[in-house]
Structure 1
Amino acid sequence: MTTHEQALDLAPGGGLGPAPNVLLIVPPNITFEAFAAPGKNSKSWRHANGHDYGVLITDVPLGVLTISAYLKREFGCAVKVIDFNTEIHKTWNHPDSLDFAPWFTEVLARVQAEGFTPDLVGFSSLFITGYENVLMLARLARQTFPSAFVIGGGNVATTMYREIFEDAPEAFDALCYGEGELPLKELLSAADPRRYCEASNHWVTRGNLQSSGIYTHHFIDRLDDVPYLDYDCIDLQDYHYSPTIKAYTNIADKTNYITYMGSRGCPFLCTFCAAHAVHGRKVRAFSVERIEAELTALKTRLGASTLVIEDDMFLWDVDWAKAVLRIAQRLDLNCFFPNALALYALDWDMLVELHKTGVRQLTLAVESGSARVLKELMRKPLKLSITERVVTDCRKLGIYTDCNIIIGMPGETREDIEDTRRFLRNLGASWYRINVATPLSGSEMYLDARAKGQIKGDIRLAGYKKCVVETEHFTPQEIENIAYDINLESNFLNNIDVRLGHFQHAIEIFSNVLLLRDDHALAMYMIAYCLQRLGQQAQAQQRLDELARGLERSSFWTGFFADKGLWADGQVSFAYLEQLPAAAQLTPA
């Protein structure tokens, strides 16, 4: 018998009891600084207390729903979930606080007061921007529930276990390496959970990190063995706050959707991505029959009209993907994909199938307009001609295109960035998410940048708008400024709907920007221009008056408008927009 098998020492109830109480916690996915003082290039929302706060992504935590279902089936656990990304809209009211600690303490104390005493407390965190929140919450959970076994999982635990045990050595009993179902089954079956974790290469502890430090994934090869998502462990209405859904004007009912993930893993080697760290590079998927059965059950129970598909690599198998789309069609579920789809698989037939499933908006993994950056720095097998074809085909079908763009990859030059800027000017996509290159923990980019000393400042404060990488070509601040400038040029001044004369649709898009950032002067300017072109002079003047007041309050916008020639001596100028080349000069539709 191996040491691992001896430590496991399977018992009917395990060391945590026959049906343990489990508290699953999802920490805030942004730093307190990004929440309390959102930057000019970040989305914000206004609290009832009058303060503007940074937006937290409130996507349904599918990993937590899966683990909850698995633990209930295998052990009959009582499971309670706290997702602080939705909780913030219900109970946050600490405008003078210097960190999240008072609020965290208050929420955990309420759980205790309700009489729920967890035997196991588990944290699920995907993003490095939530790193400090994970540590703070784990410490507070340890104080609030001193007898509980405290664990962590997700991308942060899998890729930053050394940093976690260095920064908070007493906070966690163990960290799960990769997916959690099978390691948790062993943990809850072990007569001595601590002894088991010390001997397991699927769990990281302070002890085995010092003695071994070698860990392996423990995957479920046949995903059909995983139970249906446990939507009972959350209040789905809490997720109606989701900015991911609200940002998309093509979804008619933004409060009536279910979220699903039919596959795990990604076979590609993109240097900026860390999806493989938890789920591996081999794609595993639910069978089509399983997916149809589960979606039918969810549709019947929840009455949803929209299916949000969260797969990292939905198009891994074209036939499988089309089969899933046809299931959605039969169930009258309109599909929505918040994660970027791989362009190489988006041929005309696939786009038509997506369109039949109600898809009117797609996020595209364009990443760069520089062929050199794509091939040499990102190792992404994508030709720019494919991007152009997909955008053109989407425009023919009436599908709104939202393109992911990354600026500031280590090794990227000013010429490379200008190549991207020029490419976007002529691409004609509907919108561009211009992000700074972020060294995600577990990605090749992170490992290389750390080895070369290119990470400047606190990596835990990094985000898609906050750069922490410095190279021989750029400082972090330069990259942030360039990325924001390309954002303003591509999405506003060079907006394809405006160039095509789709002024009413453009107004809807820019109005949506103001919902997320009500002081966005360029959105006001573009709305005023569109209203003027529609002959609505009075409404246009109201927007211009609002714009004038906004410029008086913002040195940034005053400087930007002056540099672009949009405003001078108290007067607006639309000359920049009127000299743009006709949309017919774009890739033909």
Structure 2
Amino acid sequence: MRNRLLLINPWQTYEKSLESEYQSYIPYGLACIASIGVQQGFETKIVDCLEDETKTETDTHVRFGKTPNQLKQIIEDYEPNIVGISSTFSMFEKDATDVACLVKSVNSSIIVILGGVTATLPQIYEPLLEQYDVYDIMSRGEGEKTFQELLENYDSVEKKIKNLSSIRGIAFKSEGKIFTTEDRPYIENLDELPFPAIDLLDINKTLKNKYYSRWRNNPKDKKSIPIFTSRGCPYNCCFCSVHSQVGFRHRTYSIPYVIALMKKCIDEYGINHFHFEDDNLTFDVQRAKQLFREVGKLNISWDTPNGVRADRIDDEMAQLMKEAGLVSLSIAAESGNDRVRKQIIHKNLSTDSIINAIQICDRNDLPCIVFFVLGFPGETIDDIRDTIKFAKEIADKYNTINMIFIANPLPGTELSKIAEENKYFTKQMTNSDYFVAIRSNQASIIETENFNKKIIFNILREELDNDEYSVHNVAQPMFWAENEVAWSRAKKAFPKSSNRKVIWEWKE
């Protein structure tokens, strides 16, 4: 019998007050790891707990996805030698740990490997290794080559992975001590990697799930899927957590590789809309333009949910994007104040570049979504008002769709470190707090001598609660000018949007 690898995307648990945040997704990272399992000759299976629409409630919490009994039965029937568990978001660490406990309860000899951001940041994985005996190995950072080496060192006779101390990019516990091996270099030639094993997912069940990608700007009657054409970002925004996983160096898949993967998704799964999830899709301007020329031949639509840099947009780029099927372009402006953007956020981007990119979108009748973040240590009330004023001005002049977030001190970020050092945290953070942190109408997570979140909320209400703007979702305010052109573009980007008036309500 071949060795068996089981990869699990855990269920997700929310406090009841936050259950509306939930949306299921395609576990793209697990599909990438699964392809390595297949390549190494392991019988490989993915269990995506979130493909199920099951919802389990207690008095205080809601869990989405397969139940423990359902997952236990799958583990018992499959009898895996190795189980890999994905923990992409630190706020769901407890769910991943519950799954690991379940695996070990079925068979304590199963080797359990945790991957994702939870397994990468020492402030998270070290306490887990100290507290629990259910994790055998933490796979830190980019996972494919690490997993390949782990599988290569699996001894099917002794039922163990050997030579752990010589495998780069992992952490493990031995004889009561935690060992962290040398960091693994990031993969330079991404084309070496096999295509994600999407065939091991029940993709049709996922796409039909009523929770799937429900807060994304998905076009109607489309089958949507995420895709990556590059990894890494050379910039250093203080709130961004991606570098722990994919590093600063910008690395790209070749355009033929990307197009071949897209064609496979189109031909085999009927995909006709792609979310380009790159952290810096247009960093290499000439490559991006050539990519969009090739994407334009596929007769699909697409969007950029993570936002692109404004200083990488010109008229030719915008035209190529639109001709290639771009539904909406997201631009990460972050702030309307130059000082905040450059000195506090460390985003080396000028206001002129932002305005230029927005004007280009407007000229090309391309829906433009602009991201802003408020509430950074070092910001003043006047700075915050500058950003809101700027957002209103571009909405009025260029019909942008503006989204406003509150700074979220994710583990491992400079923002978190600054808040910790200056005692700006209002409480000891829990998993749920990272959801609350980003919402404009709930309790402050960061308070400085200059502001707290309730002050920010009241300013937003003062500036936006009027007939000049259509505002959607006060928890994460999105707004555009109340005019025909803006509404037309908003409907292209967010087909489900309505003109229902929101209630500006603060929740303690």
TM-score by length of 2: 0.85
Of stretches 331-340 and 474-483 in structure 1, the one that deviates more from structure 2 is 474-483
Partner of 1:151: 113
Percent identity over the alignment?
A: 24
CA contact (8 A) 2:72 2:103 kept: no
Aligned counterparts, 1:31-110, within 5 A: 31-33=13-15, 36-38=16-18, 53-84=19-50, 86-87=51-52, 89=53, 91-94=54-57, 96=59, 98=61, 100=63, 104-110=67-73
- Asked if 1:417 is matched to 2:397, the reply is no
Superposed displacement of residue 397, structure 1: 1.5
- Asked if 1:285 is matched to 2:252, the reply is yes
Superposed displacement of residue 457, structure 1: 3.1
CA contact (8 A) 1:364 1:401 kept: yes
Q: Identify the match of residue 439 of structure 1 among 396, 406, 409.
A: 409
Q: 1:211 to 1:23 in 2, by over 3 A?
A: closer
Of stretches 102-111 and 489-498 in structure 1, the one that deviates more from structure 2 is 489-498
What SS does structure 1 have at the residue aligned with 2:409? coil
CA contact (8 A) 2:344 2:376 kept: yes
Q: 1:250 to 1:63 in 2, by over 3 A?
A: closer
Instruction: Tell me how far apart the structure 2 counterparts of residues 448 and 408 of structure 1 sit (CA, whole Å).
Output: 13
The amino acid that maps onto 1:59 is Y
Superposed displacement of residue 247, structure 1: 4.7
The amino acid that maps onto 1:109 is K
- Asked if 1:161 is matched to 2:125, the reply is yes
Q: Identify the match of residue 331 of structure 2 among 342, 358, 364.
A: 364
- Asked if 1:253 is matched to 2:230, the reply is no
> Which consecutive unaligned segments of at least 5 residues does structure 2 have?
473-477
- Asked if 1:457 is matched to 2:428, the reply is yes
- CA deviations on 1:450-487 (whole Å, 9 max, x unpaired) are 33333333242213226522322233554566567767
Superposed displacement of residue 130, structure 1: 1.5
Instruction: Tell me how far apart the structure 2 counterparts of residues 142 and 132 of structure 1 sit (CA, whole Å).
Output: 15
CA contact (8 A) 1:183 1:218 kept: no
What SS does structure 2 have at the residue aligned with 1:25? strand
Tell me the C-alpha RMSD between the 2 structures: 3.2
CA contact (8 A) 1:177 1:215 kept: no
Instruction: Tell me how far apart the structure 1 counterparts of residues 228 and 245 of structure 2 sit (CA, whole Å).
Output: 15
Superposed displacement of residue 438, structure 1: 0.8
Superposed displacement of residue 373, structure 1: 0.9
Q: 1:27 to 1:482 in 2, by over 3 A?
A: farther
Of stretches 209-218 and 199-208 in structure 1, the one that deviates more from structure 2 is 209-218
- Asked if 1:116 is matched to 2:78, the reply is yes
What SS does structure 2 have at the residue aligned with 1:295? helix
The amino acid that maps onto 2:48 is I
Partner of 1:223: 190
Instruction: Tell me how far apart the structure 2 counterparts of residues 478 and 124 of structure 1 sit (CA, whole Å).
Output: 37
Higher relative strand content: 2
Higher relative helix content: 1
Instruction: Tell me how far apart the structure 2 counterparts of residues 369 and 382 of structure 1 sit (CA, whole Å).
Output: 11
Superposed displacement of residue 346, structure 1: 1.1
Q: Identify the match of residue 170 of structure 1 among 129, 133, 139.
A: 133
Superposed displacement of residue 198, structure 1: 4.5
Instruction: Tell me how far apart the structure 2 counterparts of residues 513 and 179 of structure 1 sit (CA, whole Å).
Output: 37
Q: 1:423 to 1:358 in 2, by over 3 A?
A: same
Instruction: Tell me how far apart the structure 2 counterparts of residues 195 and 503 of structure 1 sit (CA, whole Å).
Output: 60
- Asked if 1:127 is matched to 2:111, the reply is no
Q: 1:296 to 1:116 in 2, by over 3 A?
A: same
Superposed displacement of residue 272, structure 1: 0.9
Instruction: Tell me how far apart the structure 1 counterparts of residues 170 and 470 of structure 2 sit (CA, whole Å).
Output: 45
- CA deviations on 1:126-170 (whole Å, 9 max, x unpaired) are 22221222222222222234221111111221012224334x422
CA contact (8 A) 2:56 2:62 kept: no
Instruction: Tell me how far apart the structure 1 counterparts of residues 125 and 58 of structure 2 sit (CA, whole Å).
Output: 32
- Asked if 1:337 is matched to 2:304, the reply is yes
TM-score by length of 1: 0.74
Superposed displacement of residue 177, structure 1: 1.1
- Asked if 1:22 is matched to 2:2, the reply is no
- Asked if 1:181 is matched to 2:148, the reply is no
Superposed displacement of residue 302, structure 1: 2.2
Superposed displacement of residue 419, structure 1: 0.7
Q: Identify the match of residue 265 of structure 1 among 214, 222, 232.
A: 232
> Which consecutive unaligned segments of at least 5 residues does structure 1 have?
1-17, 39-52, 515-522, 527-550, 561-589
